[in-house]
Structure 1
Amino acid sequence: MNQWISDFLIYKKNYHNLSSRTIKAYESDLNLLAIFCLDKKIPVADGIIPFINKLNQEDQLKISSLKRKMITYRMFYKYLASNNIIPRNQQFEDSRISYPIQKKMPKTLKISDIDHLLSTMYFRSQNEAVSIYQRKNCTRDIALLELLISTGIRISEASSIDLSDYDQMDNSLLIHGKNGKERLIYLSSHETKQAITTYLKIRGTYHPVDQSLFVNKYGKRLSIYGIEDIFSKYLKLADIQTPATPHHLRHTFATELLNNGANIREVQELLGHSSIVTTQIYTEVSMERKRHVLDTYNYRNSLIIKTSK
């Protein structure tokens, strides 16, 4: 089965725009299934449901992890069956397994924290007490975080941007999303456009080896891990205590759009969600925030008026 797994991963990597982290997760999940099927001496399709049940009952895995593994295994089975590597298993195809999933609300950052984060970065980029090399990196990092904050794109999408994807005249970016899907986004923030323009003037000092928009100190494409490290670095420099990841910026972007009156279909398109169901979770966050604001600040709540004789 190891060769099947290897071929499947190569297929997913070549024909779908998936991050290396996703590919590694697929590999880990499939290797566990292979060990189980080998131990039980059963075919792949016959082993998937029993293995998921084992993970649920004996290992007590989180429901979200079980669902992710099940999706991976169904994709793997479909790949094998479609390529006539294994015979179709109608019983498995008709099987349905579901566990109640506790809905998790997307975590967002306070607007005041984002404001402070950017202010810290801009101050550092102009602080002569900081080395020229650090200020150069800060110029790049400002452009990167400005883009994440003002567009809500995924860090994998930011990493994959090439110079040719950015139209400076039209202020637009071609984003390469999941599963090969592309979408155009518009840079509405003057500060974001200026930050990218400033960075592009010094990009050549990194001696880039390709056409990646954001490059690391070696001139190679800035990876998602590099972006995570950059975000974490400036959170510490800004002394922001709230635990956060770059993905929190995406959640904040979506929630604030809805708070300010954007249509959910428009938000879905901007985020690159294939299903509006994925986007709908932000409406609940938006409503929670509105409730909090009204409960806390609505002056009517403080009026004490006798309403009956």
Structure 2
Amino acid sequence: MLNLPELSSRYLNYCQCQKNLNAKTLKAYSIDISQFILFMSNTDGMLGKVNLSEYFASLHQACKPKTVKRKIASIKAFCAWMEYEEIIEQNPFNKLNVKFREPHLLPRTMSLDVIELFLKTAYQELSDSTSSAYMHNTSLRNVAVLELLFSTGIRVSELCSLKPENINLINKTILIYGKGSKERIIQIGNEEVLSALINYKAAYQEQIQDTGYLFINRLGCPLSEQSVRFMIRRLAEKAGIPAHITPHMFRHSFATLLLEEDVDIRYIQQLLGHSSITTTQIYTHVSTRKQKDILALKHPRNRVVLR
């Protein structure tokens, strides 16, 4: 019988050392495989079609479709590794149909008016913070974070992992390490965004040098994703924005608003760091304002004269 806990440890070590997967992916794999091993401990231990089918059925009852898809992918990769290492003769997934229909969820976006209100609130907070050096520096950082989220469409995880050497304020470029260790370079095209980054970097120069990260929290440590989420929620409340705003909504809005400005979707794909155009195409379903403009201004019915 397979010693799944030991094999799991070997597999995760392989993912870390040979595949060079990042810490978040390794953590997700570890959780997913541990849950699978726990399920298998209450079965006959056979890594076959019956047990896998029952496990996947239990996932569908307990988790959202997107989570189920990820957990199945984790187990599938684990089994593929065991087959490659000749630990098992045949991958049990070869006899399984694990495809299922996911609900089509459109990304949540913000209008340009809401983003403008957000930025105005952050800049007003910066303007009001001159009496306290700590508050002033914190506000400088918050402005720089918000400007970068919207101007580049960067993921919050990518933003928090930025190093000072990743940003070149002279050439106005940012080097971003995305999912799967993919790199992309994005230009900073707006002078106010550039100014916000210059002012922030000047205020935090020592802390940045000490930590080796671009964005710093109040304790002098790298800024966490949770801190960015909390800051955005707080500013949304202060701005009187009733919707629940997340960092990823800046990314969705970045893509959607560019699409509405007739930017080619393949350029947007590159800016977002999507490996497949299919991922980017979801934004074509969101841009209702653009659809309205097309039908109102460019539909051939407008050239039909009945009198």
Give the TM-score range, shorter chain: 0.7 to 0.9
- Partners in 2 of 1:113 and 1:26 — Cα distance? 37
Question: Separation in 2 of the partners of 1:198 and 1:183?
Answer: 24
1:290 alignment counterpart: 290
- The range that moved more, 262-271 or 220-229, is 220-229
Give the alignment of 1:132-143 within 5 angstroms. 132-143=133-144
After TM superposition, give the deviation of residue 52 of structure 1 in Å.
0.5
- Corresponding residue number in structure 2 for 1:29: 32
Structure 1 pair 226/62, CA: closer, same or farther in 2 (3 Å)? same
Aligned to 1:68: 70
Q: In the superposition, relative to structure 1, how do residues 128 and 228 fare at CA in structure 2: closer, same or farther (>3 Å)?
A: closer
Q: Work out the CA distance in 2 between the residues paired with 1:108 and 1:87.
A: 46
Listed as ranges, the matches of 1:60-99 within 5 Å are: 61-84=63-86, 86-99=87-100
User: Do structure 1's residue 55 and structure 2's residue 56 form an aligned pair?
Assistant: no
1:221 corresponds to which residue?
222
- 1:246 aligns with 247
What do residues 208-261 of structure 1 show as CA deviations (whole Å, max 9, x unaligned)?
532211111222221222222222222122221111210000000001111101
- Could you tell me how far apart the structure 1 residues matched to 2:34 and 2:234 are? 34
- State the partner residue of 1:166: 167
- Offset of 1:72 from its aligned partner? 1.4
CA drift of 1:201 comes to 0.8
Deviations 1:94-137 (A, max 9, x none): 53321111111110012111111111111111114763312210
Cα pair distance change 1:147/1:207, threshold 3 Å: closer
Moved more, 233-242 or 261-270: 233-242
What amino acid sits opposite 2:201 in the alignment?
L
Q: Provide the rounded CA distance (Å) in 2 between the counterparts of 1:10 and 1:229.
A: 34
Which aligned pairs between 1:155-304 and structure 2 lie closer than 5 A?
A: 155-204=156-205, 206=207, 209-286=210-287, 288-292=288-292
> Aligned to 2:210, what secondary structure does the other structure show?
coil
Letter in 1 for 2:289: R
Greater displacement, 40-49 / 94-103: 40-49
Compute the RMSD of aligned alpha carbons: 2.6
Name the counterpart of 1:40: 43
Q: Which digits, 9 at most, give the CA deviation of each residue in 1:49-97, with x for residues without a partner?
A: 33112333xx26432222121111112222333344x214244235332
Q: Contact 2:79–2:92 at 8 Å: present in 1 too?
A: no
Q: Is the 8 A contact 1:44 1:77 kept in 2?
A: no
SS in 2 for 1:39: coil
Report 1:121-136 matches (<5 A).
121-128=122-129, 131-136=132-137
Match of 1:4 in 2: 7
The separation in 1 between residues aligned to 2:256 and 2:276, in whole angstroms, is: 17
TM-score, normalised by the number of residues in structure 1: 0.86
Query: What residue identity is the alignment partner of 1:290?
Result: K
Q: How far apart are residue 16 of structure 1 and its match?
A: 4.2
Q: Is the 8 A contact 1:55 1:61 kept in 2?
A: yes
Deviations 1:146-177 (A, max 9, x none): 00100001111111111111112210111001
The alpha-carbon distance between structure 1 residues 80 and 134, as it changes in their structure 2 partners (threshold 3 A), is farther
Residue 5 of structure 1: CA displacement? Answer: 3.0
Distance 1:29 1:278, change over 3 A: same
Q: In 2, distance between residues paired with 1:51 and 1:119?
A: 50
Q: Secondary structure at the match of 2:211?
A: coil
For 1:207 and 1:169, the matched residues in 2 are separated by: 18
8 Å contact 1:161–1:214 — kept in the other structure? yes
Percent identity, aligned pairs only, is 30
TM (norm. structure 2) is 0.87
- Residue 146 of structure 1: aligned partner: 147
What SS class does the counterpart of residue 185 from structure 1 fall into? strand
Gaps of 5+ in 1: none
Structure 2 unaligned spans of 5+: none
